[in-house]
Chain A
């Protein structure tokens, strides 16, 4: 699958990490890990900036993390007008972090920094594939 399938609306059609989208379709949210030096990356990378290796493995992201910070957007950019309000945040898993939207079913007032969260894949009505942050 091409990378244009990623997210509410993708801006990148081609990347060597496009397999990320196939993995999303299988319900998996993966980062990459360097086979040579063990460096872990999320978002996934095709090239290791620590040792220059291009030999990467996929690894499944942890599922238990803490919401480090978040914001609720009341306006949206061109192409996302139907979506607000929506909340986006950064999950800290300890050794790695992830940025995404929070699931719509979490009431905005229930969201606090430091709360325990998890992540899951989602498919939009138009077939776009993404992932989101959910309550742990």
Chain B
């Protein structure tokens, strides 16, 4: 493996509803944790990259504003956006700058304060991460788009509502032990029972997806500090190396999408590129974080990443193979379904989880047998962007 660029520090705020502070203060929480984790000061950092989806920010051009608050001036800073995969893209940019020799150390800070606007407004603005010219005029929302995939996928591959619920039950079981997650209550099968008037997960959102199939909006921040080999060795005994990075994009419009029953094309393309760069296969992955904004997205990710053959993702959840003790543990920090999905902070949060896993520091969520290779799969929009990053000890 190429030991060129390492993660030397990770940080994340608690993901919450209604963060009682500004985006500066929110971003500071993750940066402070990552800097203390890496044992560095602001002077060691050569550049910073801020990542969010701008539709939620009242502040324009937030990178400079946040860099000042975090003490990262006068170094260069800038802003990267690919909706829900913004901070994964930020890490790819930071990796590139370090590999190019422009900077020795770069901080990637993802943030999102979604509670600034109402839930209905939020749905509409997320919808504007899709096609505003040709699709938003019909009243589209993210759940509806994922439901188009769920419907076709379920019809072709025999995936059931029970299987989708299985994904949520798994995530919730880990969400209860993740103190940074927004949704920490346990979830039971009864919660999906439509005949039970108290069943909170059963209501239809965009059929076939139900309330329990969807993750929640949240406010949060994440920070990943990357360094070249020399700096990594100087500052940390536990560097976690970037082995492979893959990314892809796809037509925004559903009318231009290939077969809906096969999942998101960007998942397959980004994974293939990341595996090739890392020189490994899916069998080498010991722990993974995948983009589960909806339960169906996790099943489709299993297949894009090669953990299951096309159409057979359901077998993994049925056999509990993606639990902590299973063949390939997935989202054992509760995933977005439990943690919540603060758009710009999401990829960095997923990466923090994997880095902690590879350092054997994940506490009650730790996967057994010292995992040495981990993967992060992060999707922007409804597969408009896809990003896969592979980490190794």
* Chain A contact residues, CB within 8 Å of chain B: 3, 6-12, 15, 42-43, 68-81, 83, 86, 88-90, 96-101, 113, 130
- The minimal Cβ–Cβ distance linking A106 to chain B, given in whole angstroms, is 15
Stretch in contact with the other chain, from B68-76, B91-99, B142-150, B348-356: B142-150
How far apart sit A79 and B255, CA to CA, in the bound complex (Å)? 24
The reply to whether the CB of B253 lies closer than 8 angstroms to some CB of chain A is: yes
The reply to whether the CB of B280 lies closer than 8 angstroms to some CB of chain A is: no
Q: Could you tell me if B134 and A74 are in contact, using CB atoms closer than 8 angstroms?
A: no
The reply to whether the CB of B128 lies closer than 8 angstroms to some CB of chain A is: yes
Q: Kindly list chain A residues whose C-beta atoms are within 8 Å of the C-beta of B148.
A: 69-71, 88-90
The reply to whether the CB of B151 lies closer than 8 angstroms to some CB of chain A is: yes
Q: Kindly list chain A residues whose C-beta atoms are within 8 Å of the C-beta of B144.
A: 71, 73, 88
The reply to whether the CB of B301 lies closer than 8 angstroms to some CB of chain A is: no
Cross-chain contact of B204 among A3, A72, A99, A101 (Cβ < 8 A): A72
Q: Kindly list chain A residues whose C-beta atoms are within 8 Å of the C-beta of B136.
A: 7, 9, 11
The reply to whether the CB of B216 lies closer than 8 angstroms to some CB of chain A is: no
- Known A-B contacts A11-B128, A11-B133; A73 and B260 likewise in contact (beta carbons under 8 Å): no
Q: Could you tell me if A8 and B137 are in contact, using CB atoms closer than 8 angstroms?
A: yes
How far apart sit A79 and B155, CA to CA, in the bound complex (Å)? 32
Q: Could you tell me if A6 and B137 are in contact, using CB atoms closer than 8 angstroms?
A: yes
26 contacts between A and B (CB under 8 A): A3-B133, A6-B137, A7-B136, A8-B137, A8-B138, A9-B136, A11-B137, A71-B148, A71-B206, A71-B207, A71-B209, A72-B207, A74-B203, A74-B207, A75-B141, A75-B143, A77-B124, A77-B139, A78-B123, A79-B139, A80-B139, A97-B255, A99-B134, A99-B138, A99-B254, A113-B151
Residue in B closest to A112 when the chains form the complex, CB atoms: B155
Given contacts A43-B133, A78-B118, 7 further A-B contacts (CB under 8 A): A9-B137, A73-B144, A76-B141, A88-B144, A90-B254, A97-B255, A98-B255
Taking residues whose C-beta sits less than 8 angstroms from the other chain, chain B's interface range is: 35 or more
Cross-chain contact of B120 among A7, A78, A89, A97 (Cβ < 8 A): A78
The reply to whether the CB of B177 lies closer than 8 angstroms to some CB of chain A is: no
- The minimal Cβ–Cβ distance linking B298 to chain A, given in whole angstroms, is 18
How far apart sit A89 and B128, CA to CA, in the bound complex (Å)? 18
The reply to whether the CB of B362 lies closer than 8 angstroms to some CB of chain A is: no
Q: Kindly list chain A residues whose C-beta atoms are within 8 Å of the C-beta of B256.
A: 97
How far apart sit A42 and B133, CA to CA, in the bound complex (Å)? 12
Q: Could you tell me if B155 and A113 are in contact, using CB atoms closer than 8 angstroms?
A: yes
Residue in A69, A81, A97 with the greatest tally of chain B CB atoms within 10 Å: A69
The reply to whether the CB of B208 lies closer than 8 angstroms to some CB of chain A is: yes
Q: Could you tell me if A73 and B141 are in contact, using CB atoms closer than 8 angstroms?
A: yes
Q: Could you tell me if A75 and B123 are in contact, using CB atoms closer than 8 angstroms?
A: yes
Q: Could you tell me if B205 and A74 are in contact, using CB atoms closer than 8 angstroms?
A: yes
Q: Could you tell me if A71 and B208 are in contact, using CB atoms closer than 8 angstroms?
A: yes
Q: Kindly list chain B residues whose C-beta atoms are within 8 Å of the C-beta of A73.
A: 139, 141, 143-144, 205-206
Q: Kindly list chain B residues whose C-beta atoms are within 8 Å of the C-beta of A78.
A: 118, 120-121, 123-124
How far apart sit A47 and B12, CA to CA, in the bound complex (Å)? 44
How far apart sit A12 and B209, CA to CA, in the bound complex (Å)? 29
- The minimal Cβ–Cβ distance linking B205 to chain A, given in whole angstroms, is 6
Cross-chain contact of A77 among B123, B150, B151, B155 (Cβ < 8 A): B123
The reply to whether the CB of B132 lies closer than 8 angstroms to some CB of chain A is: yes
Cross-chain contact of B151 among A3, A9, A69, A96 (Cβ < 8 A): A69
Residue in A closest to B260 when the chains form the complex, CB atoms: A69
The reply to whether the CB of B135 lies closer than 8 angstroms to some CB of chain A is: yes
How far apart sit A70 and B140, CA to CA, in the bound complex (Å)? 12
How far apart sit A78 and B200, CA to CA, in the bound complex (Å)? 23
The reply to whether the CB of B127 lies closer than 8 angstroms to some CB of chain A is: yes
- The minimal Cβ–Cβ distance linking A20 to chain B, given in whole angstroms, is 9
How far apart sit A17 and B95, CA to CA, in the bound complex (Å)? 40
Q: Kindly list chain B residues whose C-beta atoms are within 8 Å of the C-beta of A6.
A: 137
Q: Could you tell me if B120 and A81 are in contact, using CB atoms closer than 8 angstroms?
A: yes
How far apart sit A115 and B278, CA to CA, in the bound complex (Å)? 44
Q: Could you tell me if B137 and A75 are in contact, using CB atoms closer than 8 angstroms?
A: no
